[in-house]
Structure 1
Amino acid sequence: MFTGIIEAIGEVVDIVEEGSNQHFEISSHLTPELKIDQSVCHNGVCLTVTSLSDETYKVTAIDETLKRSNLSALKKGSKVNLERCMPSHGRFDGHIVQGHVDLTAKCTGIQEEAGSWLFDFSYQTENQEYLTVEKGSITINGVSLTCFDSTFESFRVAIIPYTYEHTNFHQLKTGDAVNLEFDIIGKYISKIIARKKS
């Protein structure tokens, strides 16, 4: 389990395709603290460390993960947001994040304010199974944020300077795809209500 509080930005140094899978080699200052079989969140996607070297580590994304997330768009040099799983004695600074991406969204606008940034996103879902609620939690590329101006298919978030500089939000452009994980509590409630209606 994760909290959506990014620990570091990693850099993709190599990508190897094997069948429908992709193996990513990541450079990060967290590498010396990792171990094989450890779960690490990459842009909001939980992946398992499969090998380690002095400065880099490797993870594998299967076809289903590549189709559901923006990992398939990564290239050598791409920056990814990283978070290790939360220790049992740690503080819950963000919200409950599983590292299971629900779908991708498109950045539709970036507006610089006096010392912060407003990012607009839109997403499409056929059955409205997923939605954002005003002042509710959303995970974007692994970052725990509060959304507002929410509709059935769009929302806005405000990014403070620290988050802007210490995540890959500073590289985000209009039209880019991001990974979304909706609040797990909201998803459970939505599922329960849907079953009662059927």
Structure 2
Amino acid sequence: MFTGIIETLGSITNLIKDQDNIHLTIKSNFTHELKIDQSVAHNGVCLTVVDINNDEYTVTAIKETLDKTNIGSLSKSDFVNLERGMKLGDRLDGHIVQGHVDQTATCVNIKKENGSTIFTFNYDPKNKNITIEKGSITVSGVSLTVVNSKQNEFSVAIIPYTIENTTFKYIKKGDIVNLEFDVIGKYVSRLTNL
């Protein structure tokens, strides 16, 4: 379980293809606090630590993960948003995030405003995921509030701090991001479609 509050950026130092899987090695400033079998969210994707070597650790992404997220499109030297699992008793500063990406979306617009930047994303309707105005959404692991919710499209307003401390500073129009829709909204949607 995660909150969508990014702790740090990690840098990919190595990628190794192994049959249908990819082993990603990441350099991070909290590697020394990790242990084997620990879950870490990478751009919102929960992956298990399988190896630790000095300030680098390795995780494995299986075919299912590669098919449903942007993890397979990452390259050496790319940065990823990192968050360790939440501790019981901690404040829930973001929202409930499972680390299970529902689908990807494409950035279709970036607009600077007075003190914030509006990012607009379009996603495929086939999975019947929805957003609601002022509801929660996780974009590449970042807990955000939806603005301008439309069918298969939504925007988020990003403050300068979030841009500076997440991969939002690298997102360009046309880039693919990971989406995890609000878990409560998913259950409500499922119940109303029965």
Letter of the 1:80 counterpart = V
In structure 1, runs of 5+ residues without a counterpart are none
Counting aligned pairs with the same residue, the percent is 55
Q: Deviations over 1:122-155 (max 9, x none)?
A: 001225x211001100000000000111111100
Specify which structure has the higher proportion of strand.
2
- Equivalent residue letter for 1:100: H
Q: Which residue of 2 aligns with 1:44?
A: 44
Q: Which residue of 2 is the match for residue 100 of structure 1?
A: 100
Q: For residues 41 and 99 of structure 1, what CA distance do their matches in structure 2 show?
A: 6
Instruction: Extract unaligned runs of 5+ from structure 2.
Output: none
SS in structure 2 of the partner of residue 169 of structure 1: helix
User: What is the root-mean-square deviation in Å for CA atoms of aligned residues?
Assistant: 0.7
Q: State the 1:86 CA deviation.
A: 0.4
1:115 is the counterpart of 2:115: yes
TM-score of the two chains, using structure 2 as the length reference: 0.99
The number of aligned residues is 194
Aligned partners of 1:57, 1:125: CA distance in 2, in Å? Answer: 36
> 2:25 is matched with which residue?
25
Give runs of aligned pairs for residues 149-188 of structure 1, distance below 5 A. Answer: 149-188=148-187
1:107-136 Cα offsets, whole Å, 9 max, x none, are 001111222111010001225x21100110
Offset, 1:66: 0.4
Pair 1:91 & 2:91 matched: yes
Query: What SS does structure 2 have at the residue aligned with 1:149?
Result: strand
- Give runs of ≥4 in structure 1 deviating > 3 Å: none
Give CA-to-partner distance per residue, 1:144-192, whole Å, 9 cap, x none.
0001111111001000011000000000000000000000001011111
